[in-house]
Structures are given as structure tokens and as C-alpha cells.
Amino acid sequence: MKLIRSDRKALYAFMAPALAVMILFFVIPVIYVIVVSFLKWNGISAPALNNLKNYALLMKDKSFSRSVINNIIWALVAGFIQVPLAMVMAIILSRKPKGWKFFRTVYFFPQVISGIALATLWRAIYNAEHGMLNGLLRAIGAGAAAKDWLGTIQTAFPAVLIYWVFYVGYYMVIMMADITTIDTSYYEAATIDGATDFQQAIYITIPLIKKTSLLTCVTLASVMGLRQFEQVYMLTNGQPANTTSTIVLYMYKKMQNANYGIASASAVILIIVGVVFIVCIRKLFEGRGDKPVVAKNVRRAVK
């Protein structure tokens, strides 16, 4: 939209609060973090310039590269498994099966339960001795597969990742709201043409939410995956052998060690990895010349 002169002032006025907040709470603090990332500093003695040494140390540290890889896997699983699952459930529930309102509410519950409770519950489920998962395996005669799920290198990270993938409530609600805005005449026409529910989902629903709520959810979920900290911290504390660590957990431990230089350097790397990731997602969703879909499906907005 063109800007006329009077608009310009208004525009500045509208941007001002957000920009002020961004400068005060993000730009300045992040500059601080970047500066500290070049220092050797324990937070109490005088800091000393450390040049790029912190970054060099990070590159060499296997547990840091493992953390970066874990975060990328986490973001991919969140964006491309968790969100599609949420989408499937959103599509199913928006066809209003019996009790859909109840389910919609119930699916949201885990969002409001404190992370501490979820972590202790899942520790108990994965527990080697009286864990529910092992109990289940023994009950179906697969007792040989029973193990210390969070204490085995091969299973710990998948176990941490998987339990959380099925908590889809938040993304589901966002997509359901979007789906309800789709003009019902589309579905009516498709039903007359004999399209199944499945086909309707593929050809009508998904293309219509792709650029809006689906993109939002994929980005949101990936960001959550990249920033993952609390669940890992409480479930495994990054163990065994640092195989479940994440960047933020790594950073947090370095802060505990009062090694602010390396902690800050890992924060900087997380921001860089994250920006690259988000740009890739946007490219993925915008890239393939399917813009016409949106243009064609111009919303019938206000009457």
C-alpha cells in the first residue's frame, strides 16, 4: 500500500512501541551477549578478551555439536511430524464427529499442566523397573525388549522426542480455527461430485490452510524445537553421555559453570541456526510457484 504523508507519521507512531521494546529487550541484550561471547568472563572477576576462542572451543566440543544436531532433529520432527499430526486431528475434528468439543478441550490439557509434572510422569513411564512401557511390553510377551529407556544411548533421545510429539493440542486448535473459516460451499460442491472426506482434505482443506495456519504452526513448532530446554532438563538433564542435550541446555550448564563467554557464544550460534532454519521454512512454503492458490482463493472478507 502506498504511504501518504499523513500516514507516515501514524506509521511511526504505530511502530514506535514495538521498536522501543525490541531495542530495549532484544537489540541491546543481544549485543551484550555477542560482546560477552568474545570474552573470558566468570561474572565476578574482570573480563578478558578471548577473541574467537570461545567459538573455536564450541566447534571442537562434541557435546555441543551433538546438541546442535539434536535441536535440528527436534525442529524437523516438530515441524514435519508433530504439526502434520495436529493437522490430521484438526481436519478430523472440524468434521464435527460426536463429542468433538470435548476432545478439542481435552487435547489442550497438556498445555496447561506444569512441565515438572509431565517430566516426572514420563520418567515413571520410561522407568526400567516399574515403568509402564516395560510393563506393557511384558504383558504382550515382548519382555525382552524392556529396558532403561532414558538410560540407553540408542533410545534416550527418541524417547524424549516421541512422547512430546503427540501433544498436538495447541497447533490443532490454531488450525481448526482456520479450517472453520473455509467456505462450506466448497465441500458441498465436492460432496456432490463424489469426493471422499480424504480427497476433500487433500484438495480443499490443506491447500487453503497451507499459507496461513499451517505455515504458522510449522514455524512455531520448529522454533519451539530449537529453543527446547525445560523438558530435556527435567527429563534427562542431557544424559546419558550428553546424547539428549540441546543448545539451550548446553548453554545453561555453561552458565552454571560461570563460563559466560562460551554460554553467550552458544546463544549466538543458536540464533544463527534458527534464522537459517526459519528462512528455509519460508522458502519451502513460498517456493513452489503455488501462489495462485492464494490469489485465486481470495477471501470474501467484509461484506
**Member of 83, 156, 221, 232 binding another protein (CB under 8 A):** 156
Region binding another protein by CB under 8 A among candidate stretches 10-18, 76-84, 137-145: 10-18
**Member of 103, 162, 195, 206 binding another protein (CB under 8 A):** 103
Q: Is 180 in the site for another protein (CB under 8 A)?
A: yes
Q: Is 174 in the site for another protein (CB under 8 A)?
A: yes
Which helix (H) or strand (E) segment holds residue 270: the answer is helix 260-287
Under a CB-based contact definition with an 8 Å cutoff, are residues 206 and 83 in contact?
A: no
Q: Is 275 in the site for another protein (CB under 8 A)?
A: yes
CB hemisphere CA count around 265 (13 angstroms): 21
Q: At 133, which amino acid appears?
A: L
**Member of 56, 109, 188, 202 binding another protein (CB under 8 A):** 109
**Member of 56, 96, 142, 183 binding another protein (CB under 8 A):** 183
Residue whose C-alpha cell is 516421541: 162
DSSP 213-250: IIHHHHHHHHHHHHT--HHHHHHTTT-STTTT--HHHH
Residue whose C-alpha cell is 510449522: 218
Judged by CB under 8 A, the chain residues 210 through 229 that form the site for another protein are: 211-213, 215-216, 219-220, 223, 226-227, 229
Under a CB-based contact definition with an 8 Å cutoff, are residues 241 and 11 in contact?
A: no
**Member of 5, 48, 130, 194 binding another protein (CB under 8 A):** 130
Angle at 166 between CA 160 and CA 171, to 5 degrees: 120
In angstroms, give the least distance from the CB of 8 to another protein: 8
**Member of 78, 83, 150, 221 binding another protein (CB under 8 A):** 150
x/- string (CB under 8 A) for another protein, residues 234-263?
--xxxxxxx----xx--xxxxxxxxxx-xx
Among residues 49 and 136, whose Cβ is nearest to another protein? 136
Region binding another protein by CB under 8 A among candidate stretches 41-49, 76-84, 137-145: 41-49
Q: Which of 292, 136, 275, 294 is nearest to 212 (CA)?
A: 294
Among residues 141 and 160, whose Cβ is nearest to another protein? 160
Judged by CB under 8 A, the chain residues 43 through 102 that form the site for another protein are: 43-45, 57, 61, 63, 88-89, 92-93, 97, 101
Q: Is 195 in the site for another protein (CB under 8 A)?
A: no
Q: Is 21 in the site for another protein (CB under 8 A)?
A: yes
In angstroms, give the least distance from the CB of 252 to another protein: 6
What interhelical angle do 100-108 and 169-179 show, nearest 10? 140
**Cα 202 to Cα 84: distance, rounded to the nearest angstrom:** 12
Q: Which residues contact 193 (CB under 8 A, 6 or more apart)?
A: none
